[in-house]
Amino acid sequence: MTARIAGLYVITDARWPRPVALETAVAAALRGGARVVQYRDKSEDAGRRQREAAGIAAQCRAAGACFIVNDDVELARAVDADGVHMGRDDGDVAAIRAALGPERLVGVSCYGDLDRARAAVEAGADYLAFGSVHPSPTKPEAAVVPLSVFAAAREFTDRPLVAIGGINADNIAAVTAAGADAVAVVDAVSGAADIEAATADLIVRGFGPAS
């Protein structure tokens, strides 16, 4: 399962107009080659969240991509997502691991904190995310952490390492060269005029041409 966390990891953004265009945008990202999609929606409209997450889950299933729900274990279970992504305000990693069982992935934000990363591995995290690795247009308040964090984390874990924050076509190659297995983006895809082309371009620049 953890092998599925690799390549371009696209995170949905509220700027995608709702509801039809969100699906259209996810379809374009999947055609462009996104291997992981995360539903990230901070609203409290439970009905719309459920509908949108279920729709994206079906799209990812059809495309063979991995589908992750941000923050919300119950929603992940309800739509049969492949996993959840949890940050420092989203609950205890061991408790989430126990609640979800071994079949679903638990991704954990580690920011630039290697002690948190070690503890997350101990608690059963399936992948570790580090960032912002550059100033993020989506989350400008996020602290920037050095790319050396990937080599440092690789010293103690073979879990997939995900980079996030301010990653775009100009800097993605340096991020993967530093050791990130997957690269998570919001703006570089959702802000693009042509989502399919932007996705494909990021993949070639970051991971090389498809073999």
Ligand X SMILES: Cc1ncsc1CCOP(=O)(O)O
Q: Which residue of 80, 90, 113, 201 would you call a contact of Mg ion, by CB under 5 A?
A: 90
- Residue 30 vs 36, nearer CB to ligand LCLJCK34: 36
**Tokens of residue 162, six digits:** 């995900």
Q: Is 71 in the site for Mg ion (CB under 5 A)?
A: yes
Q: Which residues are annotated as a binding site?
A: 38-42, 70-71, 90, 109, 136-139, 166
Looking at residue 210, the DSSP 8-state letter turns out to be -
Q: Which residue of 17, 19, 137, 146 would you call a contact of ligand X, by CB under 6 A?
A: 137
For 83, the 3-state DSSP assignment is strand
Q: Which residue of 23, 139, 173, 204 would you call a contact of ligand X, by CB under 6 A?
A: 139
In 52-196, at which residue ranges do the beta strands (DSSP E only) sit?
A: 66-70, 83-86, 105-111, 127-131, 161-164, 182-185
Strand partners, 183: 8, 163
**Tokens of residue 110, six digits:** 């580690």
Q: Is 72 in the site for ligand LCLJCK34 (CB under 6 A)?
A: no
For 117, the 3-state DSSP assignment is helix
Q: Is 206 in the site for ligand X (CB under 6 A)?
A: no
Q: Are 68 and 81 a contacting pair, CB within 8 Å?
A: yes
Q: Which residues are annotated as a binding site for Mg(2+)?
A: 71, 90
- Residue 38 vs 199, nearer CB to ligand LCLJCK34: 38
